[in-house]
Amino acid sequence: MNATEARPDVYSRPAARFAGDGSMEVRASAAAGCRRALWYAATDREITNPPDAAAVTVLETGTALEPVVLRAMARAGWEITPGDPVEPEEVSVEAASNVRVVGHPDATGRMPLLPDAASEEASRIGMLLFGSMPQIRCLGGETVVEVKTRGPEAFRRWKTLGAERSHPEAVAQAAFYTYGKFGEARDAVIATMDTGARRWDIEVVPADRVERALEDACERMAQLGRHLALNGPDPDALPDRDFPSGDWRCRRCPWLTACLPRESPEDPDDATDADETPVTDADARDAIASYDDARTAMKDPGAARRTALDTLKAWMRGRGDKKATLDGRKVSLVETRRFSVDHRRLNEMLDPEDRRRIVTESVSEHVRVT
Ligand code: SF4
């Protein structure tokens, strides 16, 4: 390897390719992706939308940080066996009679044997409430560790929703590695680093859900296998699209223009929305100036109010009173109680379907000016 090569060739193999016997080999990290994209990859379709330099940098940053996450886990007491960076162990699962999923696990590991006091308490409560001890379940057992890096927003989403909802492809990947490595369902660990704050955390996907993720992924691969058996490696016999137009996975797809020509960034039809009143650059500049004026006007009164309230809070605490009257004005020390949910434990304890009923998601839009 020269100095600029991050990884050996095995890591840069195509998402899918045909083997000498006519079967298809799919990369584990792509096995939960779009089957049409896999077909483009296997039939050597020319890439129409290569990742730009910024996307490549993000990708390489994620790759470079994987050993950092593993070392951090080791420092936290995990017994980590990282994959060999030069000759990684290949694992392989026969997902269908003519489709094989292959890959290289980032690492395997064993959880720290002595959980901290908070974990012990939570496990004890979990035992009482649910009859199981999620933190203890795979203690001592070797598990696959799948390392991911996410930006702050994606990290928060993963922590709240769990990997099965936020990044199901990572769970399918870990499931293939688990079966390929151990030949059975086991708990799998998704370790994720927030690239903004450089903090990391783990999620344990229990063995029964690893099994389900593998079954779902194998069903998709079996459909691809039937398509291959019916059409042979015909580049023009495309499988149906797996994602709707506009899906984020399509926007990042290297064959976006080939698959959905109207979605192409060059498509002039996409440049403006005919139903919206056009906003000129001058309008936007005026909006920023108004925003700055409003912000300046708000800033000082807000700060002065906070300082006054802090003074009054210290005064009330000093008196040990919750209510007081000063110069005819009533002053109260109001307590606000907040309840928080430990999403990590919730994600481990409950099926994604149950969680979907409890943790709901909504999207709103706002504009930020910096
Ligand atoms: S553009 Fe979307 S539907 Fe088409 S191949 Fe890519 S991921 Fe699949």
Residue 180 lies in a domain: yes
On whether residue 275 sits in a domain, the answer given is no
- Please check whether residues 141 and 177 belong to one and the same domain: yes
Residue 320 and residue 184 in one domain: no
0.85 surpassed by pTM:
no
Q: Hey, what are 348's tokens?
A: 């481990």
286 within some domain: no
SS (HEC) of 238-267? CCCCCCCCCCHHHHCCCCHHHHCHHHCCCC
d(CA 103, CA 144) in angstroms, rounded, equals 12
Which atom of ligand 1 is found nearest the CA of 254? 6
Atom of ligand 1 nearest to the CA of 250: 2
Pocket test for ligand 1, best of 227, 250, 252 (most atoms within 8 A of CB): 250
How many A from CA of 224 to the centre of ligand 1? 15
Task: Please state whether beta strands 99-103 and 24-27 pair in parallel, antiparallel, or not at all (unpaired).
Answer: parallel
Query: What CATH number does residue 79 fall under?
Result: 3.90.320
Residue numbers of the domain that contains 306? 295-351
Ligand 1 pocket list (CB less than 6 A):
34, 36-37, 241-243, 249-250, 253, 255-256, 259-260
Closest residue to atom 5 of ligand 1, CA basis: 37
Q: Coil, strand, or helix at residue 122?
A: helix
255, 257, 267, best to mutate for ligand 1 pocket (most atoms within 8 Å of CB): 255
pLDDT of res. 256: 94
* One domain for residues 162 and 210: yes
Domain membership flag for residue 281:
no
Looking at residue 213, its pLDDT comes to: 96
Ligand 1 midpoint to CA 51 (Å): 14
Per DSSP bridges, beta strands 107-110 and 143-150 are antiparallel
Residue 253 lies in a domain: yes
Same domain, 47 and 192: yes
Q: What is the pLDDT along the chain (370 residues), one digit of tens a residue?
A: 444 444 555 557 889 999 989 999 999 999 999 999 999 999 999 999 999 999 999 889 999 999 999 999 999 999 999 998 888 899 999 999 999 999 999 999 998 865 454 455 445 544 444 444 434 344 458 999 999 999 999 999 999 999 999 999 999 999 999 999 999 999 999 999 999 999 999 999 999 999 999 999 999 999 999 999 999 999 999 999 999 888 888 999 999 999 998 765 544 444 444 445 677 777 777 777 777 777 776 666 677 788 888 888 888 888 888 888 888 888 888 888 888 888 888 888 888 888 888 888 888 887 877 7
Residues 304 and 253 occupy one common structural domain: no
User: What is the C-alpha separation between 200 and 193, in angstroms, rounded?
Assistant: 4
Q: Same domain, yes or no, for 144 and 215? A: yes
Q: Indicate whether 290 belongs to any domain.
A: no
| CA separation for the pair 132, 124 (Å, rounded) | 9
Which atom of ligand 1 lies closest to the CA of 37? 5
Residues 199 and 50 placed together within one structural domain of the fold: yes
**Nearest Cα to 96, choosing from 158, 171, 24?**
24
4 occurs within a structural domain: no
115 and 245 assigned to the same domain: yes
Structure tokens at 274: 């005919």
Whether 201 and 323 map to the same domain: the answer is: no
Please tell me whether residues 216 and 316 are part of one structural domain.
no
CA 313 to chain centre: 41
The pLDDT score that the predictor gives to residue 271 is 42
* Site to substitute for ligand 1 among 39, 242, 248, 251, most atoms within 8 A of C-beta: 242
Same domain? 345 vs 200: no
What total of structural domains would you count in the chain?
2
Q: Which atom of ligand 1 has the smallest separation from the CA of 242?
A: 3
CA angle in degrees (0–180, nearest 5) for 153-13-29: 35
What is the structure's pLDDT at 260? 92
- Cα of 10 vs centre of ligand 1, distance in Å, is 24
- Which 3 state secondary structure label does DSSP give 148? strand
What is the per-residue pLDDT for 263? 66
User: How many Å lie between the centroid of ligand 1 and the Cα of residue 255?
Assistant: 7
Tell me whether residue 2 is in a domain. Answer: no
Does 299 lie in the same domain as 181?
Answer: no
